[in-house]
Each structure stands twice: as structure tokens, then as C-alpha cells.
Structure 1
């Protein structure tokens, strides 16, 4: 089994939701285990001291009527993102924008990409998987910070198609 087949197997396991896969051949054995138990995060929220009603009314901000400018800005922002293509993570792992810390990023905002161009690396189980663009266009936004964990199907980039 070569490295490409192992990478494909890892992709399959991460997509399928299977917890464990074991393959044994003549002189080769591989077991891929995933830990898909949900992580529980506990957070405490500070509680504000109660405010007397008269002071609350005085401190409340006055409502500002919406102008034509503010009304038109919100719908246009929603329309702008609808024309972009989202490149999503094909696996669970750690997102890297470059092949090493001292090397430049594969792509930056404003760069044009074509189908098949490497746009990032996702490390999964000590394997560094080059992620290639499936679309041609211009990178509009990078949605993930470098060296951040990513989930399967998490948006990574917004691309404006050419």
C-alpha cells in the first residue's frame, strides 16, 4: 500500500463517520482510529449587577432611524457572498497556509487559482495532505487562521469564479 492509498483511506474514514478501520495484507497492517466523541466545553458567563430602572432608562441608547444608506448596505453584503464559491475542507486536521513556517503561503487574498493548484495543507494523523483547488477563480477571503484545527466540510476559502 503506497502513501496515496493511505491518504485516500484516511479521507474515507473521516468522511464516513466510521470509528475504526483495520486492513491487513501479507506483510502490511494498518489501523486507523478516530475519536469522534463530542468535546464538551464549559464556560462561565459573568453576571452584570442589577441596574435600577430609572438608571437603565437613562443609559439606554436612543433608537436611530435607518437611513437609505444603512438599509441598502445589508442586502448588498449578502448578495456579494452568494456569488462566491466556497472551498471546504475534505477532512479533519490542522490547516496550514504554507508547506513550512519560513515559506510563503500557497495562496493569498487576490491571487488567482486554477483547478488542481495546491491552496493549502491539512495535517491529519501526521500526514500532510496537499489540498488542491477544484475551481478556477480569485481568492476573495481566507476563512481559517494558519495552524488552526479544521473539521470536515468546514469552509476554508471564498473564491470569485472567473
Structure 2
């Protein structure tokens, strides 16, 4: 990896109003995301096993929560579509996101079937265990 290039990208990110920079050339991809005043280098993502926790919010509505502290991603990579969007019908066990924790990529799965009615956290946001990420409703009650 070209250390001077990475240092220039970090400096550019720190000294700008940007919250994210992505650079790719010759098969190398570098993505830097500014979180809480810090610059955090990101690695390419690929799913690994981790389940989520579901928390009821109302009788026919519940959330999918972060199972651990890390960075939440809605898609397998920045150039791919999100796993789910508002209005998506999901099945129990379906992947809905990824949480990167300690350079490990953890699959976020739904524990119940339903329809996504709200996405509560931005892609690339830092989350803590228990943070609600998605609000779902039963298929009969969802009005999207």
C-alpha cells in the first residue's frame, strides 16, 4: 500500500468538510470515513456470521437492533445496492446489513419476517450494541 497516498487522503479528509473519501486504482481500493472527528480507514467488506436482536416497539412493529458495537453498512460494498430499503419485504434469517467490529465483518439478519417501514441509521454510521437500525411491521399492518 502506498503510505504517502494514504497520508495525503487522510490529510485531505481531515482538512475538509467531507465525511468520506474513496479512492481506487490498479485493483486497490481505499475508503476513509470521518467519524466523531476521527478518520477511520475502512477495509473491503464481505459477510460473516452474526445475528441481530429484535426488539418490539408496538404490537405489530419491532426493530432490528445492532448485536454489537461497530460500523453499520447497508450494502456489501459501496458500489452495490443496499440489502433492504423502505418497503422491502424480508423473511426470517434474511441478511439486512453488516456491522464491522474490530476489522471483522458480521452479518446482520432479521429474526422475524416483515416489511421495512423505516431505516433508523445512516450507512457507515458508528453504532453501539442495542442501537435500533430498522423498524419493521407485519405484512398485514405495513402501509408503505
- TM-score, length-normalised on structure 2? 0.56
User: Residue 95 in 1 paired to residue 58 in 2?
Assistant: no
**Unpaired stretches in structure 1, ≥5 consecutive residues:** 1-6, 12-80
Write out per-residue CA displacement over residues 91-149 of structure 1, whole angstroms, 9 at most, x where no aligned residue: 00000000100000000000000011000000000011111110100000000000000
Work out the CA distance in 2 between the residues paired with 1:157 and 1:135: 12
Indicate which of 126, 133, 138 corresponds to 1:161.
Answer: 138
Paired residues for 1:1-162 under 5 Å:
82=58, 83-162=60-139
Structure 1 moving runs of 4+ over 3 Å: none
Q: Which has the higher helix share?
A: 1
Aligned-pair CA distance for 1:161 = 1.5
Between Structure 1 and Structure 2, how many residues are aligned? 86
- Residue 129 of structure 1 aligns to a residue whose secondary structure is strand
Work out the CA distance in 1 between the residues paired with 2:118 and 2:67: 18
Work out the CA distance in 1 between the residues paired with 2:112 and 2:66: 14
8 Å contact kept, 1:89–1:155: yes
